[in-house]
Chains A and B, each alone.
Chain A
Amino acid sequence: MKRGLVILDPDEVPESEWDERLAAVRADLAAEGVDVALVYGDTYSSDDIAYLTNLCIYWNEGMMAIRPQGPPVLLTKLSPRVFPWMRLTSKAEDIRSGRKFGALVSGLLEESGPGIVGLVGAARWPASVVEEVTAALPGWTVRPLGPVIRDRRAVPSSAEEALLRTASSALDVAAGDVARAGISPVERVSTLERLLRGAGFLDVRVATAAASDGTESVQVTGQYRTVWAHAARVVDGPSRPAVTAVLDAAIGAVTAGASVSGLAAAAGPAIKGLPADAHVDVRWIDQADLATFGEYARGDAGLKEGAIGAVVVEVVFADGGFLTAAETVQVTGSGAERLTATASEAVAS
């Protein structure tokens, strides 16, 4: 849950970059023929809003309106009491609250002539909110859009890359610290929380797992400022060599233009080292999709040079046991740069 540090630091992301992000998204929206774009987010997944404003939707839902001119407008069900904090920690200046998104959008656009409203990433919006907004804008055309802001986030800027490297480094150290035998699952979770929240992470999601042969794994996904990193380590046990071999093979296949199915194919020989009745997933989860663990973004598009994400191996055994190994990497023209350490190096005996 988003219970960690929220901060807007111009040394991390310069003022000019916020303007550049907004201008680039506006250009995308203009190309789509949209006059006003609406972006929906909730406390679990609101990275598009954070990308443009650094706003943390720390509870409930929020919606951002992007008009042709002026700063984005945040429409929220949260009380005006928290507006000073939101302004202090974000680029949002115009914040409006109310009980219903429809009324908020209608109030915002009442002085504009009817035009085209685009719903960014509409497939994931609550259907009832789409209906409410559409009903509140008679005369307007309400059009679904693809994940245009998410696509902008897919290749990080230099400022974002710096944040991702900081996050990955902290995640690597923390994951390595807990991926040792002799530590209970709750101790692993506890230690990761202390280390990562103490390092300034906003969100920390930890899960531990085990196979019936006694092998355990620990995975952690963390949000640092507006970016995400992920690592999963297999603790010493009978299945560890086979699982980490799959991960190493998959990472070895990462290069600009490689497909996710190509990573799985490269891992094929290593997968044979696991039980034949186990289900093995080899996944690429772009850091832009880690909030929902890539579960709304499955596909087989080629990896973009410069993209940062997690190569994830998940093994579900026939008896229900589960193990996972993963590292955050950057895609380069000549392979993968591991931003978290190699699984084999990071795990202490």
Chain B
Amino acid sequence: MTIEHAVRPSDRTAGNGEAEAALRHRRVREAMAEQGLDAILAFGPGWRRENIRYFTDAPLTGSAALVLFPADGDPVAFSTHRSDLAEITRRGWVGEAYLLDPAAPAALTGRLRDLRPGRIGIAHYELLPVVVMEAVRAALPGAEIVSATSLMDGVRLVKSDWELARMRRSAEVCAAGWQAFVDVLEPGLPEYRIVAEVEARIKAMGAEDNFMLIASGKEEVRGMTAPSPRVLEAGDMVRTELTPQLDGYWLQICRSAVVGKASPAQHESFALFNEAVEAGMAAVRPGVTAHDVAKAQNDVFRRRGFGEYCTSRYTRVRGHGHGLHLDETPIIEGNETVLPQNAVFIIHPNTYTPIAGYHVLGDPVRVTADGCEVLISTERKLFETGGAV
């Protein structure tokens, strides 16, 4: 038998977030109307599935997926992996799902021809493979095809209560992951074994994935990378940004810990970075821009004579948005994106200074009516394996 198509089960039980799905549809359609779009085609390669998840709420395993979301009517999903089809429709947010062969996406092009949009936006247009783009263009001669990546980024920026509930569970995984990190630190342990233990702890809690960078050493450390075979030594500061994904939602914690007792320079470094985090938090309120939050952090470094370490030579961003993608709008000077109430992002002034080398510290926050709410419970301090400071 051939199974290349799945439909929403007629006997599925209520409570699968139908109200959330309806809210999303309304938000997306309002944005589509503003831009004159008849349909959105969301593309999700294996590393950028956020818009697929937004429309389906389904964790997928295929290396590519698409959702066709019309201005009116039910969305339709496509995945390269057959087992995804039932997973998608079981959630109930999408009525039908089809197997996608990237080399011959007949199911997709058939639906596009039926829909005949005059103007269609492709979310992650910038990543859509040649083989699929050619098929889309051939199916829609005369249609105007534009990018809808920014449109979807904007729609996803403000989190609903339903999403925030999920992100609070992600926060619990962040805290547990950091605790696992601290628990295993000891001289002689290679960096990659730390990662193995953290991954094991958070996956046991149901985490779907994790983005994690790490660095160990002393004042010579200039940045974080994937783990190396370097073994920990007493006095090392071990830095990480740990970003588990649970139920689709990514959240990050940034911390540094010392193997043994911290040096005066490491304490001094922590104090500087903590002041910057607090300055960033103090700047947050509805309507603040990403630039404002970044500048508040950088100004702390500038006042202390460390302004050059806020440049791209030493660092990247002062934080970034969170949600169904782990690295949403960047918190960086020059980014005038407005952060409304219920936007979620991390404030992390991570950078190198000559005080104690690269330092990592940051908390994810939600914009509240009059400030911000820190989403994780982990104390913001310089951790030591022999006891807290």
Q: Tell me, yes or no, whether A81 is within 8 Å of chain B by CB.
A: yes
In the complex, how many angstroms separate the beta carbon of A130 from the nearest chain B beta carbon? 6
Partner of A44, one of B46, B80, B206, B313: B46
Q: Is the CB of B90 within 8 A of A187?
A: no
Contacts of B3 in A (CB 8 A): 279, 316, 318
A127 to B43, CA, bound (A): 13
B199 touches A197 (CB 8 A): yes
Select B64's contact among A81, A89, A122, A295, beta carbons within 8 Å.
A295
- Closest Cβ of chain A to B373, distance in Å, is 28
**Which parts of B215-246 form the interface with A (CB within 8 Å)?**
222-223, 225-229
Would A125 and B211 count as touching, CB distance under 8 A?
no
Given contacts A44-B63, A190-B203, A298-B103, contact A1 B211 (CB under 8 A): yes
Interface-lining segment among A4-12, A240-248, A335-343: A4-12
A295 touches B63 (CB 8 A): yes
Query: Contacting A3 at CB < 8 Å: which of B80, B206, B212?
Result: B212
CB neighbours (8 Å) of B131 from chain A are 123-124
Contacts of B87 in A (CB 8 A): 320
Bound Cα distance from A293 to B46, whole angstroms: 11
User: Which residues on B sit within 8 Å (CB–CB) of A126?
Assistant: 126-130
Q: Per a CB cutoff under 8 Å, which of B80, B102, B209 touches A1?
A: B209
Asked if A277 is at the interface of the complex by the 8 Å CB criterion, the answer is: yes
Which residues does chain B contribute within 8 Å of A128, judged by CB atoms? 125-128
Is there an interface contact between B63 and A292, defined as CB atoms closer than 8 Å? yes
Contact A190 B1 (CB under 8 A): no
A209 to B84, CA, bound (A): 11
**In the complex, what residues of B have CB within 8 A of residue A45's CB?**
46, 63
Q: Are the C-beta atoms of A186 and B206 separated by less than 8 Å?
A: yes
> By the criterion CB–CB under 8 Å, are A295 and B200 in contact?
no
Interface positions, chain B 187-206, Cβ under 8 Å from A, are: 192-193, 195-197, 199-201, 203-206
Contact yes or no, B225 A6, CB < 8 A: yes
- What chain A residues lie within 8 Å of B35 (beta carbons)? none
The verdict on B302 contacting chain A, using a C-beta distance below 8 Å, is no
A221, chain B: closest CB distance, angstroms: 10
> B130 and A130: CB pair below 8 A?
yes
Residues of chain A within 8 A (CB-CB) of B382 are none
Binding site secondary structure of chain A: mixed
On whether the beta carbons of B199 and A3 are closer than 8 Å, the reply is: yes
Residues of B within 8 A of A296 (CB): 63, 102-103
A84 CB to nearest B CB, Å: 7
B82 at the interface (CB under 8 A from A): yes
* Distance of A191 Cα from B200 Cα, bound (Å): 6
Shortest Cβ distance from B147 into chain A, in angstroms? Answer: 8
B134 within 8 A of A: yes
Q: A124-B130, A279-B3 are in contact. Are A81 and B313 (CB under 8 A)?
A: yes
Would B196 and A124 count as touching, CB distance under 8 A?
no
Report the minimal beta-carbon distance from B192 to chain A, rounded to whole angstroms.
Answer: 4
A279 touching B82, Cβ below 8 Å? yes
Q: How far is the CB of A104 from chain B (nearest CB, A)?
A: 16
Q: Which residues of B contact A59 (CB under 8 A)?
A: 211
Bound Cα distance A191, B222 (Å): 33
- Whether the Cβ atoms of B1 and A127 lie closer than 8 Å is no
Rounded to whole angstroms, the CA-CA distance of A123 and B64 in the bound complex is: 14
Shortest Cβ distance from B319 into chain A, in angstroms? Answer: 16
The residue of chain A having its C-beta at the shortest distance from the C-beta of B137 within the complex is A127
Q: Which residues from A are CB-within-8-Å of B151?
A: none
Q: Is B286 an interface residue (CB 8 A)?
A: no
Report yes or no: A295 in contact with B80, Cβ–Cβ below 8 A.
yes
- Taking a contact as CB atoms under 8 Å apart, the answer to whether A320 and B86 are in contact is yes
- Is A43 an interface residue, CB under 8 A from the partner? yes
Contact with A along B339-377 (1 / 0, CB 8 A): 000000000000000000000000000000000000000
User: How far is A45 from B45 in the complex, measured between Cα atoms in Å?
Assistant: 10
A281 proximal to B (CB < 8 A): yes
Q: Mark A9-51, 1 if CB is under 8 A from B, else 0.
A: 0000000000000000000000000000000001111000000
B1 & A194 in contact (Cβ 8 Å cutoff): no
Instruction: Kindly state the interface size class of chain A when it binds its partner.
Output: 35 or more
B81 at interface by CB-CB < 8 Å: yes
Q: Is the CB of A5 within 8 A of B81?
A: no
Please name the residue on chain A nearest to B62 by beta carbon.
A295
Q: Nearest chain-B residue to A78 (Cβ)?
A: B316
A140 within 8 Å of B by Cβ? no
A314 to B204, CA, bound (A): 26
A85: B residues at CB distance < 8 A: 223, 225
A329 on interface, CB distance cutoff 8 Å: no
A56 CB within 8 Å of chain B:
yes
Our pick among B46, B47, B80, B227 for the contact of A5 (Cβ within 8 Å) is B227
| CA gap between A295 and B127 in the complex, in Å | 17
Complexed CA–CA distance, A129 and B45 (Å): 15
Q: How far is the CB of B249 from chain A (nearest CB, A)?
A: 15
Q: How far is the CA of A89 from the CA of B228 in the complex (A)?
A: 9
CA distance in complex: A295, B80 (Å): 6
Q: Is B175 interfacial (CB-CB < 8 Å)?
A: no
Task: Say whether A42 contacts B203, CB under 8 Å.
Answer: no
Chain A residues with CB under 8 Å of B378's CB are: none
Q: What residues of chain B lie closer than 8 Å to A186, measured between beta carbons?
A: 203-206
Question: Is A207's beta carbon under 8 Å from chain B?
Answer: yes
**Contact at A292–B199, with CB atoms within 8 Å?**
no
A-B contact pairs, 27 of them (CB 8 A): A1-B210, A3-B210, A4-B196, A44-B45, A44-B47, A81-B222, A81-B315, A82-B225, A85-B225, A123-B103, A124-B131, A144-B130, A189-B203, A190-B201, A194-B199, A204-B199, A207-B61, A209-B83, A277-B1, A281-B82, A293-B62, A295-B102, A296-B103, A316-B82, A316-B85, A319-B86, A320-B87
10 more CB-based (< 8 A) A-B contacts, given A4-B196, A124-B129: A5-B229, A44-B45, A56-B226, A79-B312, A81-B314, A125-B129, A125-B130, A190-B199, A296-B102, A320-B90
When A and B form their complex, which 9 residue pairs have the shortest distance between CB atoms, in order from nearest?
A320-B86, A197-B196, A194-B200, A127-B133, A190-B204, A198-B196, A279-B3, A44-B46, A5-B192
- On A, residues with C-beta under 8 Å from B are 1-7, 42-45, 56, 58-59, 79-82, 84-85, 89, 122-130, 144, 186-187, 189-191, 193-198, 200, 202, 204, 206-207, 209, 276-279, 281, 291-293, 295-296, 298, 314, 316, 318-322, 324
